[in-house]
Structure 1
Amino acid sequence: MPNMLLGAFPIGTKSGANNSTSNNKNGKCKFLLLCGGYILFLILGAAMFSAIEAPKIDAISKRVQSFRKQFLQSNACLNDEDLEEFLKAVITANDRGISPLRNATNEMNWSFGQAFFFSSTVITTIGYGRVTPLSQTGKIFCIIYAAIGIPLTLVLLSAMVERLLVPARWLLGTFNSKLGHLYQPFNIRLLHLSAIVFIVITLFFAIPTAVFAYIEPTWGALDAFYYCFISLTTIGLGDYIPGDGVSVDNRSMYKIFISGYLICGLIAMMFMLTIFYDIPQLNLGQLFTESTNGETEKLHLSSNNTTCYSGPSGLYMPQRDEDTRRAIVRIRPHGDDSPSPDEAPSSLNSGIRVP
């Protein structure tokens, strides 16, 4: 008869089952609360945006219609249908990077600099949407390029963040050695996070805001900061794009530098979020996943053939094979005196091996 292996002996099975059921219920309630709060947040955002922006867009629409009517009255030889066709042609050309203004740049969307900028917005998932492929071949290539480039970008961002964590950990160790006798570890971690946030905001928000407000002729400080935030959070609305102004010199080179800024800024944002989530007290995701952590961990352990059992201090998870062998009970039937390969010589005559 083969040896029988008992993987785990749960302690307090009935109370453990009750606790597990209670945790599952709490987890479901928290999850439903999170979903409800998220939907409510969307509804609140929609209501606020509608209340703030609807009056302004209505005013602009009325002003445009009034200007069109006055233009037709001033030019009686022009009928409404001809004006409509002209406006359609202008809007279509503008969407494709061709400005009808006399002092506009002659550089089109698909020059090398413009194409480089477009490529960077695709693989970083910013996707402003102001410039899009027009041909069927371009659309197919965009799909293939994004399918390869987006995972590649994630790999690059992760690799860069791992390297940035080295000086970040050194800074945290310095804070601990200098301030550990004065403050709690959580307070030191908050100080460390504040230092990282200050550096990121200064390098990728404050300084670029000043630069964009200076270079872009129609941008104010708020517009420039708005662009930095919308871009580095990968929202990418596309209402503000550097280099689309009619008086920007060396547009292609400018676009290439903007692409570098976007990639470095995304690395900095990912790095800052990593530091944030390294602080357990600030990781709100654990609040909605803690009830299922035990079950998930058990499934993970079982998939790796690792033994675990419940004890007075909670879930015990052996880390090594030797620990696993000591954490189980082997029962050998009578008459089978041959030792298992991993049994010690002192247990040759023992029928039951207990840690």
Structure 2
Amino acid sequence: VEGNKAQRGDAVAGRRWCRLPGTLLLLLAYVGYLLLGSTAFWALEGPAERHSAQQLLQDKWELLGNYTCLKGPALERLIQAYKSGLTLQGNATSLGRWDFVGSFFFSISAITTIGYGNLSPSTVSAQIFCIFFALFGIPLNLILLNRIGHLMLSGVQRCAKRLGEKLHWTCALVTGLLLFLLLPPFLFSVIEGWTYEEGFYYSFVTLSTIGFGDYVIGMNPDLTYPSWYKNLVSVWILFGMAWLALVINLCITLLENSSDLCQCGKKKSKELEQELMDCNKNTSPRPDDVENCSKIGGQEHDNTDI
């Protein structure tokens, strides 16, 4: 029986690994879709960002020339520009939120439904494109995450086969914790200047798609980020979400099994109580038995008198 179970397990794992070519094609389609979205957002939002930067510089010089008579509309434009992420750096402004790399990272945050909220399209054309891009991108993202999750689980099962079938979940959890939650905060601490706790908080909020937006990578205008940084974080988000989905499914399974055990225990306790009640009914004397015993006792008493 155990041999048959092992053979069935190997067959299932083999079928999962047979899906690898299809998953690679799906991954290529996913990356191509992201590149398409990045190019579109770059083309639609880039000119608007550059125009806003020029306007911000003009407002700055107007305020410096007339600081004794501060104008309300100009100050409001400066505040809105700062909220949208544009900052002044001497005679220039910090761009890069809607360059190709920034657009790629926004595309990832859109179709993974993280939605940090610190960056959003401002032009009507980009907003309309974002609707259709997310409409088809979100299902594609879910399908790819499901495929990657199953492949990751199959790989862990193969690696942990010698350790025993019950330990493969432990290996998956430990490996995932290291790669997706425990080690990335060190990278964020070095590049972003965050504490380890802040990096860990950002990692979980991102992979769980909560996406508060209070911590977002690559947004400090005082720092110079490596060109590979956002691309590496995008790959980390994709595989990290697939791993966390496996953990969430495991938690759901454990909760469902625990509820089934509780219901089973309640059912068995009720059956036991019913059996005890039936047993008590069977062992208790019936009225007819009591009457017969009294009659027999009376006859014996009469015979004794005789």
TM-score by length of 2: 0.57
Q: Distance in 2 between matches of 1:76 and 1:234?
A: 44
Query: Is the 8 Å Cα contact of residues 97 and 108 (structure 1) preserved in structure 2?
Result: no
2:157 pairs, out of 149, 166, 169, with 169
Shift of 1:171: 4.7
SS of equivalent residue, structure 1 residue 160 = helix
1:77 maps to 68
Q: Which residue of 1 aligns with 2:256?
A: 284
CA, structure 1 residues 206+103, in 2 after alignment: closer, same or farther (shift >3 Å)? farther
Alignment of 1:111-150 (within 5 A): 111-150=99-138
CA distance in 2 between counterparts of 1:76 and 1:144 reads 45
Q: 2:246 aligns with which of 271, 278, 289?
A: 271
Alpha-carbon distance change, 165 to 230 in structure 1, aligned in 2, over 3 angstroms: same
- Answering whether residue 174 of structure 2 is matched by residue 198 of structure 1, we say yes
Give how far 1:259 is off.
1.4
Structure 1, residues 101-120: CA drift from partner, whole Å, max 9, x if none? 43986323211011000000
3-state SS in 2 of match to 1:283: helix
Letter in 2 for 1:228: S
Displacement of 1:197: 1.7
The answer to which structure, 1 or 2, has the higher relative contact order (CA under 8 A, 6+ apart) is: 1
CA shift, 1:256, in A, is: 2.2
Q: 2:96 aligns with which of 105, 108, 120?
A: 108
Structure 2: distance between partners of 1:134 and 1:116 = 16
Corresponding residue number in structure 1 for 2:276 = none
Deviation, structure 1 residue 223: 1.4
Q: Give the CA deviation at 1:257.
A: 2.2
Q: CA deviation at 1:135?
A: 1.1
Is the 1:111–1:252 contact (alpha carbons within 8 Å) kept by the matching residues of 2? no
Question: Rg larger in 1 or in 2?
Answer: 2
Could you list the per-position Cα deviations for residues 58-114 of structure 1 after superposition, in whole angstroms to 9, with x for gaps in the alignment?
Answer: xxxxxxxxxxxxxxxxx99356xx3x5444222311233311243986323211011
Distance 2:220 2:255 in 1: 42
2:228 equivalent to 1:247: no
Cα deviation 1:108-158 (Å, max 9, x = unaligned): 321101100000000111011111111111111101000100000011111
Q: Within 2, Cα distance between the matches of 1:211 and 1:103?
A: 32
* Distance of 2:251 and 2:158 partners within structure 1: 16
Q: Which residue of 2 aligns with 1:158?
A: 146
| Correspondent of 2:236 among 258, 261, 265 | 261
CA shift in 2, pair 1:153/1:128, >3 Å: same
Deviation by residue 1:222-248 (Cα, 9 ceiling, x = unmatched) = 211111111011011111111111233
Q: Name the CA distance, whole Å, in 2 between partners of 1:285 and 1:131.
A: 42
Higher helix share: 2
Displacement of 1:203 after TM fit?
0.8
Structure 1: gaps (5+ residues): 1-74, 177-187, 292-355
Contact 2:88/2:94 (8 A) holds in 1: no
Any idea what SS the aligned residue of 2:186 has?
helix
Structure 2 unaligned residues grouped into runs of 5+: 1-65, 264-306
* Paired residues for 1:30-69 under 5 Å: none
Cα distance in 2 between the residues matched to 1:143 and 1:105: 29
Are the equivalent residues in 1 in contact too, given 2:161–2:168 (CA < 8 A)?
Answer: no
Q: Secondary structure at the match of 1:77?
A: helix
2-structure distance, mates of 1:87, 1:257? 38
- Secondary structure of 1:270's counterpart equals helix
Other structure's SS at 2:259 match: helix
Q: Is the 8 A contact 2:156 2:171 kept in 1?
A: no
Report how many residues are paired. 198
Contact 1:125 1:234 in 2 (8 A): yes
Identity of aligned residues (%): 31
> How far apart, CA to CA, are the structure 2 residues paired with 1:89 and 1:100?
13
Residue of 187, 207, 211 corresponding to 1:232: 207
Deviation of 1:275 (Å):
4.6
TM-score by length of 1: 0.50
